[in-house]
Structure 1
Amino acid sequence: MSKADNMLAILWLLKANKRMTAKQLADALEMHIRTVYRYIDALCASGVPIVADSGHNGGYSLLPQFKESPLFFDLEEQKALLQAAVFAQEAGYPYGDVLRQALTKLKRYTNEEQRTAIDRHLVGFDVISSGPDEGMAPLLRQLEAAVAGNGTMLIEHHKGVGLEPQGRRIDPYGLVHWKGKWYVVAHCHLREEIRSFRVDRIVSAEPTDATFERPADFSARGYLLQFLKPWISADGEKLIAVGVEGKPETLNALCETGPFGDSLVERAKDRAQFMFEENAMLTYVPYYLLGYGAKLTVLGPPELKARMASLALELHEHYNSAL
């Protein structure tokens, strides 16, 4: 650890314990006792009120007022940080290794009573999602660095399954996690307007020497809320409304299915409306709906109903020929 990390570690240990000797601090931090003395002197010189008591029960301690300093987190704050980290890790936070390192430090420098209480709050607290794509972390880190550094990037991006990637020159304004997916909101030099791109559809990304100025008060989150759902897709393409009718329990099952749950825009007792890109509506969407047979009725659009009928006929002919 760096000198600053070690000095902060000493503060945490002194905060978590009433009094500790130099040897106890050295053993806890796995360092030479003379190094501990140097760090104590540096902390005192910087104004930290460390009290040194000599004698049999002596050691180092902090003044009570300093223990209440905002530098340290109380139990509720520690619990909130650790539980929030569960959400971040499940969402595929790109700096997961650094986050785990920070959490290890946080738990290391709490006292036994606090650790026991935190463990009780964490043992029954879980988040389940489709799971992050571990391979996407390097790309997310690269995009996050470009957002922070105002760096223009060259990306190869495809709009959907089976479509050829397209090269884009973008000024990334922000990263947003929405419904299990990461999006980069950027100024697209090809379209000369702001667009959003699904990160899992970016095949490659390269930095350039160019920089940009982000528009004042621009919000990537606000852009997505205003322009992405439900009328415009992540790639600026119009979405098509898909209406489905059926019994409530059947619709419940459909709405819990990944693609339909993410695309739901309106739900009544026996009807639901979704928004899909045209490519998706005519490829994988019909196959999902076929699994429900006659329990569901597609209300529109006509192209989807025709595709459903065509697939059903293909299945009928396939199995009828085998009889």
Structure 2
Amino acid sequence: MKSDRLLSILLLLQTHGRLSAAELAGRLEVSVRTIMRDVDALSASGVPVYTERGRTGGIALLPGYRTDVTGLTTDEARALFVLVTDRAHTDLGLGSALGSALRKVMAALPAAYRPDADLASRRILIDPTRWRGGPQRSPAELAIVQRAVFTDRRLRLRYRHGRDSRVRSYTLDPYGLVNKTGVWYLVADHCGHPKLFRLDRIASAAILDEPVQRRGGLELPEVWDGLRRYIDEFPTPLKVRVRVRREALARFLRFHAADLAEPPPILVDDLGSGADPAPEHVEIRLQFHALVASEALLAFGTDVEVLEPADVRHALAHKAAEITDLYPRQS
């Protein structure tokens, strides 16, 4: 709606001071011509907005002009108070600031919206931390990486890769931090190419006395989206068929839900619920990005047997032999 867009322009100008018509058009996903018509509409309604031509020009409000109108709808007010657990804020040293900020926002809301917002804050909670997944405490180097991100400085990392546990060194140009399902990631360029680093795999970090050298025109959301899509759309060539003991099926499905190539032929709730006796084993089809990922199946011991392909069976047998050699039986 046009009224929402006019308010968005007003709030963006209050926040950023001066923006070009092209920047406003990009943020609001409309044409530059539409932005110029909206600026004329704001001016006609009494908002002191003006434009300046030239290389350093743009659209701005007269100095000192502020508005207390939030323009929030009922749903927008409620959405602000659908809280994510404060784990990420606490990691960044912002735990107390979150509560203080929300109290101020609540006080600024129109009185008619406060009951819905308060109810949402007490009834809905989003916890992005995976069960038995991710680091159990804040990564040791988070404070250093955070400082580099906020001060726009380059970073020197010693980083332990998950695929082979080798530690390598990198000089990075950070874009920012992302907390995904409770795991902290650094998004940065290495030699001009985007890379993703899990903070709990950083062996050491140091801030360099050099400004970042990011690629022009790119911000964290764009770089993160490209990296995320590359990972999400990565081909899964390795298909694995396993046989799972009935008693372990529920636990197996909790751990490997993301690896399922197709829905299981039988659900946990269906076991023993019909006239037919429950099967002793259930066949499940999985898919993995790489052979090394299938090693997670060893955690289920004899409750899970890989039926095919042979490469996975041989790889797990080799890994199991290494474990046996590491822990020989006592005579």
Q: TM-score, normalised by structure 2?
A: 0.55
Once the two structures are TM-superposed, the CA of residue 225 in structure 1 deviates from its matched residue by 3.0
Give the corresponding residue for 1:256: 254
Query: In 2, distance between residues paired with 1:240 and 1:99?
Result: 44
Q: Secondary structure at the match of 1:213?
A: coil
List per-residue Cα deviations over 1:122-172 (Å, max 9, x = no partner).
333123433775853774454355345542101121113983532221112
Query: In 1, distance between residues paired with 2:65 and 2:196?
Result: 49
Q: Secondary structure at the match of 1:169?
A: strand
Unaligned runs of 5+ in 2: 1-63, 266-283
Give the corresponding residue for 1:6: none
Contact 2:238 2:287 in 1 (8 A): yes
List per-residue Cα deviations over 1:39-89 (Å, max 9, x = no partner).
xxxxxxx678xxxxxxxxxxxxxxxxx87x22x755533321121x326x3
Query: In 2, distance between residues paired with 1:299 and 1:104?
Result: 57
Query: In 1, distance between residues paired with 2:182 and 2:321?
Result: 32
Give the corresponding residue for 1:188: 190
1:229 and 1:120, CA in 2 relative to 1: closer, same or farther beyond 3 A? closer
Q: TM-score, normalised by structure 1?
A: 0.56
Of 302, 308, 316, the residue aligned with 2:311 is 302
The letter for the 2-side match of 1:212 is Q
Q: Secondary structure at the match of 1:290?
A: helix
Matched, 1:311 2:310: no
Query: In 1, distance between residues paired with 2:99 and 2:139?
Result: 14
Query: In 2, distance between residues paired with 1:154 and 1:134?
Result: 25
Query: In 2, distance between residues paired with 1:172 and 1:118?
Result: 36
Give the corresponding residue for 2:173: 171
List per-residue Cα deviations over 1:179-238 (Å, max 9, x = no partner).
44332232224xx74322112211322111223132434622232234323538xxxxxx
Matched, 1:136 2:135: no
The letter for the 2-side match of 1:273 is L
Q: Secondary structure at the match of 1:311?
A: helix
Matched, 1:274 2:287: yes
Query: In 1, distance between residues paired with 2:123 and 2:184?
Result: 27
Q: Secondary structure at the match of 2:228?
A: helix
Q: How is 1:7-46 mapped onto 2 (pairs within 5 angstroms)?
A: none
Contact 1:175 1:220 in 2 (8 A): no
Cα RMSD (Å): 4.4
Contact 2:159 2:167 in 1 (8 A): yes
Of 210, 219, 224, the residue aligned with 1:221 is 224
Unaligned runs of 5+ in 1: 1-45, 49-65, 233-238
1:82 and 1:248, CA in 2 relative to 1: closer, same or farther beyond 3 A? farther
Query: In 1, distance between residues paired with 2:289 and 2:104?
Result: 45
Query: In 2, distance between residues paired with 1:138 and 1:309?
Result: 34
Q: Which moved more, 1:149-158 or 1:162-171?
A: 162-171
Query: In 2, distance between residues paired with 1:47 and 1:178?
Result: 38
Of 297, 300, 307, the residue aligned with 1:289 is 300
Query: In 2, distance between residues paired with 1:195 and 1:303?
Result: 29
Once the two structures are TM-superposed, the CA of residue 118 in structure 1 deviates from its matched residue by 3.0
Contact 1:244 1:297 in 2 (8 A): yes
List per-residue Cα deviations over 1:282-303 (Å, max 9, x = no partner).
4xx143232624xx53423614
Give the corresponding residue for 1:10: none
The letter for the 1-side match of 2:241 is V
Q: How is 1:84-103 mapped onto 2 (pairs within 5 angstroms)?
A: 85-86=83-84, 89=86, 94=92, 95-103=94-102
The letter for the 2-side match of 1:243 is V
The letter for the 1-side match of 2:311 is P
Q: Secondary structure at the match of 1:267?
A: coil
Query: In 1, distance between residues paired with 2:318 and 2:79?
Result: 52
1:144 and 1:244, CA in 2 relative to 1: closer, same or farther beyond 3 A? farther
1:289 and 1:126, CA in 2 relative to 1: closer, same or farther beyond 3 A? same
1:214 and 1:90, CA in 2 relative to 1: closer, same or farther beyond 3 A? same
Identity value in percent: 17
